[in-house]
Structure 1
Amino acid sequence: MNGMWTFLALMMMISAQLQAQFDRSPWSFGLLGGMQRTHFTGTFQSLPGLYNCCKGFDGSSTSMDPFFGGSIRYAITASFGLDMQVEYVQSRGELSAVNTIGNALSFNGSGFDIVEAQSAFMMSWTIPSLGFTPSLAWKPFESGFGIRGGFTLRLQSNGEATGREELIQPKGVVFSDTKSTIRNDRKVNFTPTSLVYGPIIGLCYDMKLSESFTLTPEISYMHILNQLIEFSNSDESLSMSALRAGIMLSYTAFTPARLVEIPITPLPIIEIDTNKPYIPKRLKAKLAAFSVNEQSKEENIVNIVIEEYSSLTMTPLLNFVFFEEGEDKIPARYARLDATDTPMFDIDFIHTPNHVETYLHILNIIGKRMIEKPASIITLTGCNADIQKEKGDMALSMRRAESVKAYLEKVWNVSSNRITIKNRNLPEKHANTQTIMGAQENRRVEITSNEPYIISPIITLDTVRTMNPPIVRFRPQVETDSVSTWQLIAGQQDKELRRFTGEEKVPAFIDWHIGEEMSEGLATDSAIVYAFKARTSLQDSAEIQGMIPIEQVTLHKKKINRVQDREVNTFSLVLFDVRSSEITEGNAQIIEFIKGFVKPNSNISITGFTDRLGDADANQRLAQERADATAKALQVKNKAIVLGKGNSALYDERYPEGRLYTRTVDVIVDTRIDN
């Protein structure tokens, strides 16, 4: 066994030595061959030199034809190369046509019937060609796969054409002049177009047989751009394309490398006491935990405080249902129910801070509210983009409105006399018709009602938990020559909450975003226990542990201890007009609602957002202007924190609802209250 390993090591040394002594030439020479699936498409009366009395030929023909040749390649870089292939092929094709040529007598057993006589006219051809194909090969992968693209120039020599006519109906009848079912059986030579040309693209894979020889299978597609035969009639044509599969054996020469003599500078002699054993440095570890507040300030951590407070969340309801281009079916992303599930639908349950997720339940929200308000009536106005295939398609607009109506009737059992449908082309307040995204926003059904509650914002009361600090930062320190692996685990009451792992280099700090990840996961006052462990390649290890106390400040505790509480209420405004910061009527009603929650001791933050479409600077200005307009309408501009965040990506911008809910202003009113 030891002898085998010695032999393999020796061979590897010899191979490396040979590679060091020889340089690979950039030139390769090869032989190639394969088969091509030739596809002809033709419309012509006859081939040159052949008389044909039929109405002509119109169709396509396929044949399998062998090809062979040679190749020269020059490697520009390791990934790119120039190829020149020269190959020869005889391309064969055949077309047939059935024509009625007159009447004939057909014996019926007792006499003769006059029937139509039909002949099958057949035309076949062979065109030899010599192809010259320069191309560029790109091989980005070390595995050997590559792409080749180029342009073929083919010299066509004299072709051979065969034509004949065969009587196929009626049976048992022959031509009078040949006494057989075959006539006009002729073979001629003809002159095709001397030079044809076209693009070629293919995939190849290099398989090294040795340092010098490479076997390369290849599949490619070639399409000839000009006509194979120059017909006298401009209406006649014959074109060709081919799917090829071939293989090439190539040879690359190696030349002796030029040896360069490198002067050797003697190294200083270092004396080492070999009698003194080397003792690796023992692994030592330290770990400290810190808090990081919302302003990214780092402080020593004392404990983690989890506080409960009451919160009102208001989400405006976008009263549109959007459709795909040319479609009248409600898109699959909208939440739909079976009629049996409607009694269990709860708007409070589906209301989340993600406005788009809440909005996608709009059909069920409208249905639920119409059941709650039996006297309410809604109007569905179908619209279209009024461009391209939707141009002026009022019927499409009507079908879209009918789709929404059908869902409310069938699933929510809303009476049809409570739903009015209308149609128009563009919406009354339409988006830019010259952009793709503007067209998306115009393909919609608008929902209005005589009862404001039907499309009013969604309001829910909830208990929210916040965590202070929002981030726990661990700073590990390791004293050793090297670390192989490390891990940091945090848990509570034997339950693992978070694990961080790594290899070799230990980071300067590790941030745990506990506020985002564990807002609902820490339900007790039990301390968080953490442990950091590191291990070296010599299996030396060190471990250090610590703990962080937890303090739960619940609503119940606040009332019992008569501790000051807080309410944090969140509101959103949408449906600003395009590129406008003006407060619309709908947003004005929301602002009046918000005013009822603003107290003298309230802390207010107002943040305007825009999507990322258009000019970034203009978007930033617009976001700030919308926030300023909201603060002015609330009459809190001097006491509120007012920010603009243009070019935001709050939601998926591929969908119109994502963009519209990003064009928003968020208002947060944080008020301290006494218990």
Structure 2
Amino acid sequence: MEVKFLRFVMIKSVYVLAIINIFFTYQLFSSNNEENFLLGTKYGFSVLYTNNFQAVDMRQLPSVWDSIPRTASGSSNGFNVGAFYEYRMTDRTSFLLRGFLNYNIAQIEGTVPEEVISNGLPAEFNVLHKIKSDLSSIKFEPLIRYRLFKEFSLFGGFNAGLRFSQMFEHKKTLLGEQGIFFKDGSQIITGLDKNIEGKLGIQASLVVGFGYDIPVNFNGQYLICPEIMMETGYSDIASRLTWDMNSVRFGISLKYSENPTIKYEIKEIRRNRDSVRIVNIERADIKKEFLEKGRTFITSDTILTEKYRIITNTLNRVDTLFYPTKSVIKDISISERLDNGKVDLSCLKVYAMASDGSIEYPKKELYIEEYHSTNIKPLLNYVFFDESSSKLSSRYNLLNEFKARRFRLEDLSNLSTLDTYYHLLNIIGKRLQVFANATIKVTGYNAGIGEEKENLELSKKRANVIKDYFVNIWKIEPERIMVEWKNLPERASNMNDADGVEENRRVEINSDYWDILSPVIINDTLREVTPSQVRFYNNGGTCYNIDKWSLEVNQSGNSLIIFKGENKMPERLIWRLYEVNQTLPRNESPVTFKVQINDYYGNKIVSKEDTIKITIKTLQEKENGAADDKKIDKYSLILFDFDKSELNKENQKILDFINEKIKKSSKVLIEGFTDRMGDDTYNKNLSKRRAETVASKIKNTKNIIVEGKGENELMYNNELPEGRFYSRTVNITVETEIEK
């Protein structure tokens, strides 16, 4: 095969590939169907079989006087073994860098007529010339991969290799009958053209080809890619000799994808709910209201997503509430029982609940004791967004430039853990001002479902919103903030659960500088209350006509907490004294509470005021007395991955700090918690494993109690993604006696 013909074939192949590319691109953009494809950075290794086609200009060999034909050709087989890295630049294009070992012994044969000795006389016979060279090398191959449709892709690029050997061999053999010899009397001559050597320089080739990624497992994290590549060489193989080589490679690549597009089977979820609507009708012929139940009927709604089919069966009923004609509107005290039965709040009772979650005390009394304390509030480095939105939620405390200049970390001492978290951006902004050499990375993500699926532009906007806040409000230099945007987070929450989908709509802030995201450590007075909750019960009131209701708790005229709402009042309201520390009573004056209800008729109904007794033991009283005192330190570990109990490096640093504070006489209580996602029993065991993992790292004391609370005692509001993350926690309470 002539060299020009081989190059002609390669050039035509490039043209054919270009035409195929245009055709499939047109088909892709003319189709209205969305196609799934696998994304993410990939790693792997390749094994390829190589078929090499070569041609040599025989006239350039010193040992050949003349050659017709002028070119000798041949083929050889080899193989490539190597590894690669693939980085996705856009949804369709990727950059691929491959490094491999290329084994190839090239050999060419050509027949040339030559004058020899036959039976003692000069004669012309054909002589077979064999040329051999070792072309084995280490190659590096940068390629651009362009996805034509689904996972069928076009590759284009080049490779450059460094040869191991200069080996070049040339021998010739007589073809003919016996009695024919070269002029030196032999029939085979080796070691010809010793002035020709294989070149050790860079060997470069142009590469084009096709490949197709085939998922091996369910979510496409592992793949096999069969591929075919064609390459044409553009470097000399030997000195003083025109030797061209073109190759076709066949083989497979085994790949691992860091962040694949997860493909789910459609799962069916069935839900049942009740919908009861009440219609009010005024009648003059009755003296007391009564409820007439309507006919029950069932409706079914189906929502279909790419992951699951949700079927909701609703039991519907429309009841009718008949009430007598109202003639007088007045304020009514709860002490005046209503004859028409509109509202009955006489059963309102107050219970105090112990911190273990299992005991209720009818006696309305709270005992508060003050202790010296160190409190660690960990920072969750995630900022969550509403669906399809890049606007910061109103839950986060956002400052203007004037307030940012006045912001002090010390002002966070009286805030709860979640309220401290809502200052996350301000804490990081302040610390970036203090640690001028620190940098951060802001990465935006989307939920990977519905309108957010593959919406990298939304991920980018979310990340830039965070960066703009640091730059515009906190005056942080833009070059100190690196911004990235991706689809799903690397440690994504469960996409089969609505809570998990909500948690994936976020921005993550990371820094190699520990002080930027380190916990908020507060040395303060701990005010511990027993019992830790007060429950307000409304168990029996038939409150069909409530428009608005409120329950207010006061001390000495100051409001401690207010519960309020519309329509039916809940049967139970909980005042969580351990969670909102700032609402604790500040002195021993009785705490009072009362309920106010406004009904649809204009009545305002106010209950009689009831009281809760308060007893406080202050630090000063303990210091002035002879009683022993103790120091209570409270620490929390967060950012346990979903369904995991292993410690990450941030929690390990917190544990190192805690171990420095623990003495041999210290008593340590370790309590594990989870969020509401998943099975109750499984979550209780998971929380126990988390607590045991932490307990295994505690030093200096053996007085350790380990408990797994599971989701029976949710630490924070699990309607919010940040509340669920903070609930995946282990709380450590360390009690140490203070020596007098």
TM bracket (short chain): 0.3 to 0.5
